[in-house]
Each structure stands twice: as structure tokens, then as C-alpha cells.
């Protein structure tokens, strides 16, 4: 250890010990006036020369002011100016001591008859923590080496502290001048933290409340070094980085860099910015976020995050990191750790906004860089392009809506094209209310089961319905009044309400053909036809002896016009969800040969991808056998 290092170490230790006691006392009196606390001002005799020395012929005298910042040091923290020999750069032993005069970290020291223009400032005390926003629980010591000639202010900060050992090394070991050593050290420190600036600036001129990119660099380094660590860990890290920088101006300890990256990668920098502004010491702070990110993403091997690769996902490749193999995504705000939903569903950024994904518990939509759980109607309301008024179709539910003034609305009956004439062999809605199969007539039903919500006629008249066994025949005539089967078929609007995505809600129209014991053989019908218009997709279902188990279904798409759907029996798909694992799965042929009924439903099924919307309108005009329905 050289002479200057030995002398400085002794002074620093002594200064830290004395200041720890002083700062501990001052911390409990924060907020008192300067007069009450005895803090020195410009007229105070506390700006004292602690040693006696004859004046030099070309001595330096004056006042120097500045701020001491990590975040700002707190009132009562100590600030000491040490005289430095201009030839050897050793400490002379002459000191001038004062205290930080407010919680902004401001100080002012008078000095007399210095033999050299170079001085060392040592600040010791408690400080404001930018990352937590709180006052520190332990004091720290920061250094600043400065040329006092033509300078009336000099700040003490993390940058001045880190450059100190490197400047001494370059002067003593590489014979650089002070100005050369300082310029080189400052460039090296910026490079060590992967920070680039256009024009260099003296570290003593920087402030975390400044406006330049160099001020932003200071704040970035301060935040990086602090991370989410305690003051004890921060102090140790500060010493290790300064020591690593001393001989070659770079941080060569890869584990140390990984630890710094780990400490900051999960910190919310927006919250850090808010913490600093909440101190009410400044209305603005310099941009620092990109500089912080540049360091830790480089350490993790993530590369650049720009408009060209938003949405890209990468893993931390640094094996020294505690977060090795953790996944990160490039977003509008830079690289960020993927959250739990993103690990399951994939990244959610502006690059895939409004993308939908299906999970075991429902539908998710990428909104504002976050996966949101949505109902089918919520998805449609958020995702559909509604720039023009008129009908629009959903790619999720296959349903139709109205775009009105930029918002999604349910269709009205008058928006449907349902004025066409129609015929059907089984039921002609213009003449009767029975399904005739052979010589037997069967009553048509309109019912609701496993459902919570409301049914409306096409004039908006509401009919409340409850769960299960609500099998009343309800039809509406042209005036929207409830009656028996009307001359225009069955028309209704519905609103579903449910608590869980897996709730099943059926609204069914159709007919039962069993007499309580057995069904009929409908093989020679070849299939089934339906005359309909609906804002929602429908399901045609045939069922056998065990309703809820022996069921087959066929999908029927939504249609804005009166439409004929012809479905062959072989196009129906048998449902097996309700069957025991060892049960024999019935065939379509079995169901058709012993058919108990046919129904057409608006259903919120237990298949996420077959959701119906929350509201819609349906018009059933006629049923028939395959190719037995027509629309003129």
C-alpha cells in the first residue's frame, strides 16, 4: 500500500467513525431548523482549519459549495475537505470540517491558504435510497477529488467516488497529469457500466437532479450499484467495484457484474423515478432507465431491445447469475422478466396486442402488455374492429354484432333479413304448432335449463327464467307479444349471466318424440334441416334414452339472413363427456334408430372454443328432414 493510500485509509476510517455517531444523532432530529440544530452556515466558525500552518506565498483561499448525493445525504452528515500536496498527491494532514446543512445534501466549506489547488472531499452520513425511496438505515462514505482553481462548486457522488482510486493509480503508476487521469478514468467508468454519452463532463458537476445525459449516467450508476440490496451489501459492492476499477479501469470480476445485474433486473424503474420525484427536491430527473437496462441486459446476454424485435423472448445465458435461464421479453419499455401468465401463454406486448389464448381456466386477451381473463363478449367488445357502423362478425365466437358509434352492441331483430317465405315438412310455422312424424304429432317446446339470465321478445319485453325444468312454449308474433306458436316462428333475444366459464347454459327449441319409454326410427330422413337466422352460432342436437349422455351435435353457423341448414346424420358428432370411462359409446346409427328428440340450442358449452356470446337474438322458422326445408 502506497503512502497516499495509507494516509487516506486512516483518515477515512477516522472520519467514518466520528461521522457515524454524529449522523446517528442528526437522524433523530431531521426536520429541525438550522439555528436549532447548530448546523454551520456561511458565517459559522465550524468551517475550521484543524491544523496550524504558515501561509504559502501562492496559497488558495475561498469557499466551495456543492451537494453530496447517493441519493442526497441527510442533514447533519459530515463533509470534510482535505488538503492534497500538488506534487506528491499525498494528504498534507490539513482539514476543514463542516456538516451537510439540509436534506438536499447541500454543503458549503470555507478553506484558507491551501498550498495546492487539489483537494479531497469526504462525505459521511445517511442518505436517501433511490430504489426503496426511504432513508438509509446505515451511513456510507463517498470521496471526491477536485481541482479547486476557478471552481466555486464541487459535488460528491458515486461517480466521483468510483473514479478516485483510478485517478490516483494513473497519476502515480502511469505518470499522467491530473486532468489526463481524470478524463481517462471517467470514460473508463462509463464504459465499465456499458454507458455511452456524447460529451464527457466532470464528475463533480453532475447531479441526479440534473438535465444532461451525464447526469443520467450518474443516476443510472447509483441505481445499478444500489439495486435491491441493503446498505451493508451496497457498501461492500462499492468497495469491490472501486478496487476492481483501480488498475485497468474495467470491472473484470464477472461474478460481481452478475450480482449487480441480479440486484437490478427485477427492479421497477418507474417506481424508482417516482420515489425520487416524491422527495419533492426537484420536478424533473434525467433519463436513466435505458442506461440501467443497457448494463444488466448485456450481462445477461439478451442483446438489444428495439422496435424491430418487440415481443421477442430470450433466456438469461449468464451461468453466474442467480437468474440463469429465466425468460425475458422485449417490450415497449425494454427488456422485462416474463410473468407467470407469459410463461404459460407466451409473451404479451404491443407486438401481439389483442391476441387471444386459451387456458384451462378460460380465454385470455393480450391487453396493455398483460394477459387479461375475459368472457367471450368482453373479448369481442375489445378485439373487434368497430370503425364503421353496421354488422360485424367475431372470429372467436362466430357471432354477429352491431357497430354503433365505435362500440359493440347486440343486434336488433330489424337488422336481420328474415322476411322470406319458408316451408318445412316436419313443422310449418305458418300453420301449426306440432311436429308430425308419420301419423303422430309431437308438441314443439321452447325451454331453458342450466341457465341464469333473461329471455326477451323482439320488442324488448323481458321474461325472467330460472335454472332447470323451465320448458314452457314461448313464441312471439309480429307485434312482439307472447302467444302460442305464431305465424312467423319462434323469435327471442337472450342474455346469459354466469359466474364461471365452465357453467353450461342452454336455451333450446325443438321437439320430443318419445312416449316415455322408447323413441322413433328416423333413419329414412337422411338428416335434419333447419330454417333459421341467428346472431349466434347454434348447435343442432339429437338425443336418445339418456339425455345429457347419449347426445350427438352438429354446429350451425350464425347467419344474418334467413338460411336453410341441411345436416346429414353422419355429420353429427357423438358427445362422450358425460359417459363413464368404461361405457360403450353409442353410434350415430344407434341414436337415429331410437331418437327421443331434436333440439336447437344457444349454448355456452364446456368447450372454451365453443363459447356463445353473452347476448344475442335467434329466429327459428322451421324444422324438417334432410332437404325438406326451403326459403323462397
pLDDT tens string 293-345: 999 999 999 999 999 999 999 999 999 999 999 999 999 889 999 998 999 99
In the structure grid, which three cell numbers stand for residue 591, read together? 341414436
CA distances from 163 to 70, 159, 189, 252, 255 (A): 15, 6, 7, 16, 21
Please check the confidence at residue 468 and state whether its pLDDT lies above 80. Answer: no
Please check the confidence at residue 134 and state whether its pLDDT lies above 80. Answer: yes
Q: Which of 104-108, 113-117, 129-133, 407-411 has the lowest mean pLDDT?
A: 407-411
Measure the CA–CA gap between 312 and 331, rounded to whole angstroms. 8
DSSP per-residue codes, 70-86? TTBBPTT-EEEEEEE-T
Cβ count within 10 A of residue 429:
22
pLDDT of residue 418: 76
Give φ, ψ of 431 to 5 degrees.
-125, -35
Measure the CA–CA gap between 62 and 110, rounded to whole angstroms. 6
Give φ, ψ of 103 to 5 degrees.
-75, 5
* Confidence bin at 593 (pLDDT 50/70/90): confident
pLDDT of residue 444: 56
**Residues in CB range of 119: below 8 A, 6 or more apart:** 64, 81, 82, 83, 84, 111, 145, 146, 148
Please check the confidence at residue 490 and state whether its pLDDT lies above 60. Answer: yes
pLDDT of residue 577: 62
pLDDT of residue 36: 25
- Contact present, 231 and 137 (Cβ < 8 Å): yes
Its pTM surpasses 0.95: no
* Cell 331453458, residue located: 448
What average pLDDT score do residues 235-250 get? 97
pLDDT of residue 259: 97
User: With 0-12 CB in 10 A as exposed, 13-18 as middle and 19+ as buried, what is 579?
Assistant: middle
* Confidence bin at 478 (pLDDT 50/70/90): very low
What average pLDDT score do residues 70-95 get? 92
- Contact present, 426 and 437 (Cβ < 8 Å): yes
DSSP, res 621: E
Q: Which of 325-334, 348-357, 456-465 has the lowest mean pLDDT?
A: 456-465
Measure the CA–CA gap between 42 and 47, rounded to whole angstroms. 8
What is the rounded average pLDDT for all residues in the chain? 79
* Confidence bin at 23 (pLDDT 50/70/90): very low
What average pLDDT score do residues 464-477 get? 38
Measure the CA–CA gap between 116 and 58, rounded to whole angstroms. 9
User: With 0-12 CB in 10 A as exposed, 13-18 as middle and 19+ as buried, what is 368?
Assistant: exposed
pLDDT of residue 359: 84
In the structure grid, which three cell numbers stand for residue 564, read together? 336453410
* Cell 338460411, residue located: 563
Please check the confidence at residue 52 and state whether its pLDDT lies above 90. Answer: no
Please check the confidence at residue 592 and state whether its pLDDT lies above 90. Answer: no
At residue 331's C-alpha, the angle toward residues 359 and 207, to 5°, is 140
Measure the CA–CA gap between 19 and 77, rounded to whole angstroms. 7
* Confidence bin at 11 (pLDDT 50/70/90): very low
Measure the CA–CA gap between 292 and 298, rounded to whole angstroms. 10
DSSP, res 68: B
CA atoms within 13 A on the CB side of 20: 9
pLDDT of residue 309: 93
Per-residue pLDDT tens over the stretch 527-550: 988 889 999 888 888 877 654 456
pLDDT of residue 82: 96
Measure the CA–CA gap between 425 and 630, rounded to whole angstroms. 10
CA distances from 329 to 114, 297, 326, 368 (A): 56, 11, 10, 14
DSSP, res 203: G
* Cell 307485434, residue located: 479
Please check the confidence at residue 605 and state whether its pLDDT lies above 60. Answer: no
* Confidence bin at 611 (pLDDT 50/70/90): low
* Confidence bin at 424 (pLDDT 50/70/90): low
Cβ count within 10 A of residue 310:
18
Amino acid at each position: 500500500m502506497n503512502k497516499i493510500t495509507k494516509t487516506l485509509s486512516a483518515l477515512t476510517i477516522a472520519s467514518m467513525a466520528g461521522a457515524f455517531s454524529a449522523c446517528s444523532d442528526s437522524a433523530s432530529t431531521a426536520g429541525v431548523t438550522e439555528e436549532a440544530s447548530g448546523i454551520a452556515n456561511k458565517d459559522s466558525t465550524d468551517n475550521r482549519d484543524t491544523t496550524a500552518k504558515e501561509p504559502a506565498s501562492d496559497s488558495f483561499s475561498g469557499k466551495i459549495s456543492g451537494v453530496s448525493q447517493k441519493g442526497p445525504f441527510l442533514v447533519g452528515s459530515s463533509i470534510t475537505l482535505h488538503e492534497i500536496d500538488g506534487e506528491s498527491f499525498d494528504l498534507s494532514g490539513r482539514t476543514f470540517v463542516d456538516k451537510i446543512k439540509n436534506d438536499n445534501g447541500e454543503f458549503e466549506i470555507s478553506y484558507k491558504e491551501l498550498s495546492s489547488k487539489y483537494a479531497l472531499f469526504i462525505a459521511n452520513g445517511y442518505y436517501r435510497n433511490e430504489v426503496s425511496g426511504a432513508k438509509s438505515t446505515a451511513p456510507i462514505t463517498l470521496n471526491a477529488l477536485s481541482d479547486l482553481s476557478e471552481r466555486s462548486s464541487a459535488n460528491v457522488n458515486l461517480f466521483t467516488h468510483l473514479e478516485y482510486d483510478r485517478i490516483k493509480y494513473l497519476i502515480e503508476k502511469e505518470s499522467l497529469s491530473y486532468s489526463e487521469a481524470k478524463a481517462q478514468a471517467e470514460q473508463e467508468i462509463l464504459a465499465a457500466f456499458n454507458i455511452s454519452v456524447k460529451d464527457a463532463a466532470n464528475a463533480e458537476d453532475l447531479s441526479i437532479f440534473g438535465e444532461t445525459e451525464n447526469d443520467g449516467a450518474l443516476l443510472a450508476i447509483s441505481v445499478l450499484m444500489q439495486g435491491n440490496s441493503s446498505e451493508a451489501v451496497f457498501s461492500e459492492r462499492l468497495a469491490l467495484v472501486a478496487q476492481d476499477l483501480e488498475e485497468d479501469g474495467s470491472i473484470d470480476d464477472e461474478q460481481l457484474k452478475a450480482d449487480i445485474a441480479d440486484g437490478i433486473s427485477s427492479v421497477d424503474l418507474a417506481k424508482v423515478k417516482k420515489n425520487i420525484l416524491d422527495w419533492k427536491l426537484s420536478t424533473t430527473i434525467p433519463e436513466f432507465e435505458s442506461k440501467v437496462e443497457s448494463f444488466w441486459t448485456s450481462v445477461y446476454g439478451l442483446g438489444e431491445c428495439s422496435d424491430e424485435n418487440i415481443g421477442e423472448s430470450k433466456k438469461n445465458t449468464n451461468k453466474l447469475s442467480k437468474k440463469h435461464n429465466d425468460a425475458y421479453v422485449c417490450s415497449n419499455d425494454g427488456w422485462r422478466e416474463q410473468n407467470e401468465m407469459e410463461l404459460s401463454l407466451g409473451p404479451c406486448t404491443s407486438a401481439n396486442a389483442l391476441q387471444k389464448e386459451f387456458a384451462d381456466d378460460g380465454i385470455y386477451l393480450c391487453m396493455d402488455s398483460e394477459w387479461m381473463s375475459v368472457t367471450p363478449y368482453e373479448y369481442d367488445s375489445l378485439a373487434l374492429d368497430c370503425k364503421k357502423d353496421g354488422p360485424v362478425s367475431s372470429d372467436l365466437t362466430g357471432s354477429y354484432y352491431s357497430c354503433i358509434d365505435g362500440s359493440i352492441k347486440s343486434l336488433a331483430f330489424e337488422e336481420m333479413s328474415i322476411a322470406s317465405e319458408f316451408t318445412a315438412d316436419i313443422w310449418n310455422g305458418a300453420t301449426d304448432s306440432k311436429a308430425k312424424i308419420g301419423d303422430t304429432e309431437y308438441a314443439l317446446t321452447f325451454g331453458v335449463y342450466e341457465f341464469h339470465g333473461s329471455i326477451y321478445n323482439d320488442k324488448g319485453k323481458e321474461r325472467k327464467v330460472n335454472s332447470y325444468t323451465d320448458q314452457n312454449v314461448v313464441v312471439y308474433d309480429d307485434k312482439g307479444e307472447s302467444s302460442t306458436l305464431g305465424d312467423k316462428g319462434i323469435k327471442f333475444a337472450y342474455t346469459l349471466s354466469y359466474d364461471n366459464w365452465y357453467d353450461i347454459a342452454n336455451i333450446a327449441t325443438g321437439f320430443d318424440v318419445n312416449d316415455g319409454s322408447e323413441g322413433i326410427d328416423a333413419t329414412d330422413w337422411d338428416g335434419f334441416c333447419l330454417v333459421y337466422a341467428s346472431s349466434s352460432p347454434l348447435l343442432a342436437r339429437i338425443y336418445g334414452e339418456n339425455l345429457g349422455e347419449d347426445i350427438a351435435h352438429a354446429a350451425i353457423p350464425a347467419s344474418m339472413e334467413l338460411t336453410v341448414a341441411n345436416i346429414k346424420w353422419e355429420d353429427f358428432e357423438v358427445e362422450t363427456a358425460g359417459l363413464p370411462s368404461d361405457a360403450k359409446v353409442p353410434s350415430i346409427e344407434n341414436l337415429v334408430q331410437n331418437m327421443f328428440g331434436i333440439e336447437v340450442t344457444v349454448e355456452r358449452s364446456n368447450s372454451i372454443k365453443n363459447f356463445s356470446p353473452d347476448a344475442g337474438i335467434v329466429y327459428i322458422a322451421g324444422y324438417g328432414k334432410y332437404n325438406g326445408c326451403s326459403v323462397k
